[in-house]
Amino acid sequence: MLRLVDPNEAKPWQSCAICSDKIFFRTPREFSSHLRQAHCTKEGGSFVCRYGKNGVCPSLPVEGVSDKDYEAHVKKNHTKHEEIKAEFNATVTTDETLYPRPRLPPISFPNANAFTVYSSTQNLPAILNDPRLLKRQTDFFTKAWGEDFVPQEVPPLTLLPRIPTIYFDDYLKKTEFRIKVHHKLKRQLIVASTTATPGDTGFTAAAIAAAKRQSVDKVASDISLIPKVFMMPNFALEDPEIFNHVLPWSMVTQETTTEGVKGMQRNSAKLLQEKLSHYLDITEVNLAHQISLRSEDFFSAMASQDQLQDHVGETVSEIKHLRMKVQKVQEVLCSGFLDVLRLSSLRSRYLSVYEKLKLMATVHQTQPTIQLLLSTSDFVGALDLISTTQEVLQQELAGIQSFRHLGSQLAELERVIERMMEADFVEFATANLGRMAEDEMGNEDLVDEDRLVSVLFGLLRKHKFHFLHLYRDEAYSTIKSTIRQTVQDIVTDSSENEEESQSLADALRSLDFLQWMGMLEKVFSASLNVLRRMQVMHQSIVRVLVIAVGGVKSHSDPDDLDSIDIPESDSDFLKPVCSGMDILITTTDYRKLTQESKELLCAACEMAQLRCAKLINVRGKAGYLDSLSSSEFVRLTRMVEDFVMDCERICGRQSHSLRATLLSQAKKFVERFHEERKNKLSLILDNERWKQADVPTELQSLVDSLVDGVYPRGKESKFSIGPTVTSEQKPSPDLLVNGQRFSVVGTVLLLVNMLVEYCQCVDDTPMLVTDIMNKLFETLKMFNSRTCQLVLGAGALQLVGLKTITAKHLALAARCLEVVTIHIPVFKAHFEQRLPPKQYVLLSQFDQILKDYNNHRQELFSKIVNLMEELFKNIFSKWEVKAPMPSQAMRSAVKQITKLHESLSLVLPETQVESIFRDIKRAFKQSLAHKLDKLGMTNDGGPQHGLVTSDLAFFKESLKNLSGLGDIGRSLDDLWRTVNELKINRGSPSTGRKNILQR
């Protein structure tokens, strides 16, 4: 019910500022009780006030106070009781506010949750539509509900169109006459009410109105005599201040001695009594006046109460009569049927009790049944029975005292079964991984697969997916122990007569290469046996997981189990195995466990390779692997590569741990391999005398095998490297390559053999193909540069004591370079097959090296031509045109050309000889033309011209029979034209310089 209070008098205890649901309180005591219940905590014997922001009171210590101090704190800081009294004292002592007007309390809901529209004591629509709103209190809503509750202007309707007045013209015309008549009658009625009755002069009505005004004014004036303190809503004589104001205490307490003063006190008390009596009379008169004004309302209310009492009496009698009828109907029509329903309900309860007893008897046999299932290793059945029994105990047999301990017993039994399954799984894994090698050579199946299936189904039933962790630890331990035991057995057998105190690492270092390779082979074999058993175990686990996820058991190849895919949607692969088989795991769990099992197998392969890598590192750190020959290292490489490939086939994933160890050793081997051959090649080049060497039959066979390219990967080589059986065939003076004969030095034969060794090395260590190819580039560049230094740079003169570098030396060097250039594309194709496509860019080095070799050959040929050109200049510098002819200079030129032709014909093919002599003929013609121009000779047919012609005829006749010089005559036909051009050029310096630059 709504309660009205004055907003200006609102106290802090009237509502809670912390609680979200606003609660209003009638008295400070109710507010104090609310603070103690909702905003106070008791810590030990102290009370802590929590009435404040973030649960902290700003005016009370955090450590708390006693109960009495807490009450004082609430009164002082939260209810403001003392401040209220002080304000009241100030109010009653101030003249201006001595008699304040009574104020209405603010609107509040004692029970806000139960408030409805019917709980209000005011008619809200009537208040809102009060026509006297301006005369009444205008802040009726805003004083208690806030400034937002103010009359708002109703916004105009935007959806309705504005109607013009023309639409109402017809209606106004029809009602115009009626409106005029209405206004006329209204004016007549007002005049009649204000005028006096016939024969009355008007003084009677005036007298009555004056009497009413006089009585009202008199009553108002009488009430104004009463002090306003008596009108206060909280008037109470118990308050000392109010009591002193009504009855001044000074009249009683003042001590006087004179009789006059005592009489004055008695008169004052009597006067006070009369004054209060007068106030009482005024109040009674005013009350009687107010009652007289509302007498009709009182009589109407009393009449309504009497009528209401009559209606209530009639209603009570009707209710009694109705109850009697209902009782008779119940006795006649309902009692029998209700008995039938009661008996039926009783029978159903009896049946329910009987079913409960049968269920209890079944549950009572749970533990013996579980023991029977465990004896047959039916873990899934035992766990299902425990789960079903616990569900029955919780749902259907809840509250049965005889079974109050059965639930905990079954839970403990379930934990025991879980430990049993884990122990059985570990025992099974140990038994299968620890089988002797002899037992598994012909049979790699599991010993007791049915037992594994039962254990795995039980573990999956309980979602104990950590069994793979137990299996991983056992697998790692088995691999370590197997490798260690194998090594110890071999070391023990090989060192029976040696000291027993040496460590295992020292014993490994003491083994020779054959013993160490035998040990490594047995370690690889033992490790592969364990890994294959793990592969079989992994396949069995995957089969169980497929069944557990709801798929059919696969009868395909076990190697294909890893590729089984369980789709997210329904698939033909996922079919229930049988009607009684539940789905134990989800598809997500299946994928996770399958992946974990696969990762475990891969990790085991990785670990086995790591342990084997340690054995290799023990040998490698001691430096024993650095001294291996090529064949020994190739054997080691192939053995390790085979083991790694077997591991990859088992786990289906590439592994790099053992390959990394092999790679580091292979890098050392390749470095040593390259350094040996580089030093050997450098030493042989330094001692090379650049003479034609005989070609052994073995090397000719090697070169012949390179015609079709170096053997492809995966096939055996068509040639052998290293010591071979001595052939009875005699060495050949020339090297036959693609049907061409090459006169070469011994260094080239060794170089070809080295290059083939590089190609074979890349097949033995394919992981270092780029390194080996770079070493090959370095070797080719070294041969080219050293050949250039020794031949073109004349370095061989100081190293081997040659007197001079002849044209034959130059031709031999060019021929050797040509042999290498023929085989460079073969080596390029060989490496191209072994390089990954993204590294094909490295093959451009072959093209660059080939270009360098060809440029070197051209420089050698140019060097031969330059030598002859210098020779011609020396010969013609002493030539004189005089008899006898042929001259000695021309004879010397013919001799040198013939000698050069004989030397080159023995080394170079005819095409290359012709190419060289074509340049030599051009050099001869230029040298002779310069000499003739210097001598001032012309083709004028004179004696001098005849001598030159005779000398040239001898030159042509002497050389025309040499191969490549048959057209020597035609090449000298334009000799005199060349001489004339030289004369012309000598006469015009600019033209001469231009021709020189062109040449």
- 502: tokens are 């040496």
- Look at 463 and 169; give whichever has higher pLDDT: 169
- 710: tokens are 């170096």
The alpha carbon torsion through 773, 775, 777, 783 (nearest 10 deg) reads -150
Using N-to-C axis directions, what is the helix angle for 630-651 and 746-764, rounded to 10°? 20
Which of 257, 229, 259 is CA-nearest to residue 244? Answer: 229
> Is 90 exceeded by the pLDDT of residue 495?
no
- 211: tokens are 């009497």
Helix, strand, coil shares, percent, the chain, to 5: 70, 0, 30
pLDDT digits (tens, 9 = 90+) for 860-892: 989 888 888 888 888 888 777 777 777 788 888
> Is 60 exceeded by the pLDDT of residue 836?
yes
With residue 47 as reference, give the H or E element that holds it. strand 46-49
pLDDT digits (tens, 9 = 90+) for 905-950: 888 888 888 888 888 888 888 888 887 778 877 777 777 777 877 8
pLDDT value, residue 651: 85
> Is 90 exceeded by the pLDDT of residue 137?
no
Dihedral sign for Cα atoms in the order 827, 830, 832, 835: negative
- 733: tokens are 């003076």
**Which amino acid belongs to residue 923?**
A
* C-alpha of 697 from chain center: 66
Dihedral sign for Cα atoms in the order 469, 472, 473, 474: positive
**Which amino acid belongs to residue 181?**
V
Contacts of 158 (CB under 8 A, 6+ apart): none
pLDDT digits (tens, 9 = 90+) for 56-104: 787 766 666 888 888 888 888 888 754 444 444 444 443 433 334 444 4
16-31 mean pLDDT: 80
Q: For every residue of 264-292, which 3-state class applies, written as one string?
A: HHHHHHHHHHHHHHHHHHHHHHHHHHHHH
* Confidence tier at 855 by pLDDT (50, 70, 90): very high
pLDDT digits (tens, 9 = 90+) for 716-750: 443 344 444 444 578 888 888 888 888 889 889 99
225-245 mean pLDDT: 84
Q: Are 873 and 931 in contact (CB under 8 A)?
A: no
pLDDT value, residue 129: 66
**Which amino acid belongs to residue 566?**
I
Q: For every residue of 347-404, which 3-state class applies, written as one string?
A: HHHHHHHHHHHHHHHHHHCHHHHHHHHHHCCCHHHHHHHHHHHHHHHHHCCCCCHHHC
> Is 80 exceeded by the pLDDT of residue 146?
no
Residue reference for tokens 């790694």: 644
> Is 70 exceeded by the pLDDT of residue 116?
no
- For the ranges 143-152, 499-508, 571-580, the maximum mean pLDDT occurs at 143-152
577-596 mean pLDDT: 73
Q: Are 787 and 744 in contact (CB under 8 A)?
A: no
Helices (H), 652-768: 657-687, 697-705, 746-764
* C-alpha of 48 from chain center: 50
- 300: tokens are 């109407």
* Phi, psi (deg, nearest 5) at residue 564: -65, 130
pLDDT value, residue 847: 92
DSSP SS3 for 737: strand
pLDDT value, residue 143: 63
Residue 851 CA to residue 568 CA, distance in Å, equals 62
Dihedral sign for Cα atoms in the order 728, 730, 736, 737: positive
pLDDT value, residue 314: 92
- Look at 237 and 963; give whichever has higher pLDDT: 237
Residue 9 CA to residue 722 CA, distance in Å, equals 119
pLDDT value, residue 195: 54
Which of 702, 708, 747 is CA-nearest to residue 724? Answer: 702
> Could you tell me the CA-to-CA distances from 113 to 4, 21, 35 in Å, in that order?
18, 9, 20
pLDDT value, residue 740: 86
With residue 250 as reference, give the H or E element that holds it. helix 250-253
pLDDT value, residue 569: 37
* Confidence tier at 221 by pLDDT (50, 70, 90): low
**Which amino acid belongs to residue 854?**
N
The rounded mean pLDDT for the chain is 76
> Is 80 exceeded by the pLDDT of residue 987?
no
* Confidence tier at 213 by pLDDT (50, 70, 90): low
> Could you tell me the CA-to-CA distances from 458 to 414, 419, 433, 455 in Å, in that order?
11, 11, 22, 5
Residue 922 CA to residue 391 CA, distance in Å, equals 114
With residue 991 as reference, give the H or E element that holds it. helix 989-998
Residue 671 CA to residue 677 CA, distance in Å, equals 10
pLDDT value, residue 717: 43
For the chain, give the percent of residues with pLDDT over 70. Answer: 75
pLDDT value, residue 653: 81
Q: CA angle, 792 as apex, 786 and 796 as ends, to 5°?
A: 65
DSSP SS3 for 830: helix
> Is 90 exceeded by the pLDDT of residue 851?
yes
Neighbours of 131 (CB within 10 A): 7
Residue 839 CA to residue 842 CA, distance in Å, equals 6
344-366 mean pLDDT: 88
Which of 931, 933, 918, 934 is CA-nearest to residue 968? Answer: 918
Partners of 695 in beta bridges: 732
What are the helix and strand counts (H, E) for the chain?
A: 35, 4
Count the alpha carbons within 13 Å of 240 in the hemisphere toward its beta carbon. 2
153-157 mean pLDDT: 76
pLDDT value, residue 600: 87
pLDDT value, residue 574: 37
305-320 CB burial, b ≥16 within 10 A, e <16: eeeeeeeeeeeeeeee
Q: What is the length of the chain?
A: 999
- 572: tokens are 């033909």
For the chain, give the percent of residues with pLDDT over 90. Answer: 7
- 429: tokens are 């894994």
**Which amino acid belongs to residue 870?**
E
Q: Where are the beta strands (DSSP E) in 773-881?
A: none
- Look at 326 and 980; give whichever has higher pLDDT: 326
> Could you tell me the CA-to-CA distances from 57 to 70, 81, 83, 647, 995 in Å, in that order?
12, 18, 19, 74, 114
Question: How many Å is the Cα radius of gyration of the chain?
Answer: 65
Own/partner contacts of 91-96, CB < 8 Å, gap of 24 or more, are 92/229, 92/241, 92/242, 92/245
Contacts of 573 (CB under 8 A, 6+ apart): 551, 552, 564, 566, 567
* Confidence tier at 214 by pLDDT (50, 70, 90): low
* Confidence tier at 442 by pLDDT (50, 70, 90): very low
pLDDT value, residue 205: 47
pLDDT value, residue 557: 43
Kindly state the greatest CA–CA separation across the chain. 200
For every residue of 90-136, DSSP letters joined together read HHHH-STTSSPPP-PPPPB-TTSTT--GGG-SS-HHHHHT-TTTTTS
Helices (H), 908-971: 910-935, 943-959, 968-971
Residue 245 CA to residue 240 CA, distance in Å, equals 8
Dihedral sign for Cα atoms in the order 38, 43, 45, 46: negative
Own/partner contacts of 42-48, CB < 8 Å, gap of 24 or more, are none
pLDDT value, residue 122: 59
With residue 740 as reference, give the H or E element that holds it. strand 740-742
Q: Are 385 and 371 in contact (CB under 8 A)?
A: no
Give pTM, 2 decimals.
Answer: 0.53
